[in-house]
Structure 1
Amino acid sequence: KESLINAAYTVKYLKPRGIPYHIQIVLYGKAVLSAMSFSEVYSGYAPLFDSLQEAGVEFRVCHNSMRMLKVSADDLYPDMEVVPAGILQLIKMQMQGYSYISNR
């Protein structure tokens, strides 16, 4: 949840100032459970997911974690893209010049 809140604060600062941004949140491990549209975990995250997606924030969900946690793509909140592996997505984005910010 901390990553979502930090992203929301970032958008809140940058957007009104006209500063361009590209934020992509990669969900892996147990964080994948927060991306489920019909779970107890999801209920508290819905407003954050909605506002961030409306602001153009992209979400990627780790397929490896989904498989381990028995989560299917149909279980996910709308407009979340499944990637083969969260770590590979992070590496790909860093190789393209993006920064990795972790709340762990």
Structure 2
Amino acid sequence: MNRLLKATLFFAAIFISQLTIAQTAQYPLVKGYGGIYEVPDAIERPDPSLDYKIIVDMSTGASDPKQISRWVDNVARMMNLHGLAGVKKEQMHVKVVIHGGAIFTVLNNEEYQSRYQVDNPNLPVYQALKDAGVEFLVCGQSMHARNLKKENISPLIGIAHSALTTITTYVPQGYTLLKF
């Protein structure tokens, strides 16, 4: 075999091996959102034998109201990362309490349209998260401060007395607090 053919075969083998290493995003628990990737070299992973109790304190708003909030998508990523490690949906007990600037991500389409002239891009993500077992609570105090009524909020979202009392209710029950 001549040198040119050997070199061509060598580089073709490297190219093909690189294609097999490349990954596409995975969505094990939240379908279509929060895409994540396998990390074969990871030495720390979620334990698939545990139940996870997580409360997410989401107060950061979207940087662009025409795009899915990275913080809403991050909840999907968190769910999918656990799922990729073998944690089942039934082992994930996740509550998201929404307040501050993040409150606008839970507006229904009519209210969102009136403010941003576009359908709320976060609602499909919230639906996929709800389908995966996540519960959402919007802070009633934040709603009051922004003159929002129940009819302005997506029916996917429950209303809490406050973010503060929701967090102080669930943390003593063993929920891990994450801040987004």
Pair in the same fold by TM > 0.5 = yes
Q: Separation in 2 of the partners of 1:12 and 1:42?
A: 25
Deviation at 1:3, TM superposition (A): 3.0
Of 37-46 and 91-100, more deviation after overlay is shown by 37-46
Aligned match of 2:79: 11
Deviation at 1:53, TM superposition (A): 1.0
Q: Separation in 2 of the partners of 1:42 and 1:36?
A: 10
Q: Separation in 1 of the partners of 2:157 and 2:121?
A: 17
Greater share of helix? 1
Deviations for 1:37-84, whole angstroms, at most 9, x for unmatched residues? 031386121221111111111100111100110111111111311111
Give the number of equivalent residue pairs.
103
| Coordinate RMSD, CA, aligned | 1.8
Q: Which secondary structure does the structure 1 equivalent of 2:137 belong to?
A: strand
Q: Separation in 2 of the partners of 1:56 and 1:42?
A: 24
Higher Rg of the two aligned structures: 2
- TM-score, with length taken from structure 2: 0.52
Does structure 2 retain, via aligned residues, the 8 Å contact 1:35–1:42? no
The question of 1:80 aligning with 2:157 is answered yes
Aligned match of 1:99: 176
Aligned match of 1:27: 98
- TM-score, with length taken from structure 1: 0.87
The one of 111, 131, 137 aligned to 1:60:
137
Give 5+ residue unaligned stretches, structure 2.
Answer: 1-68
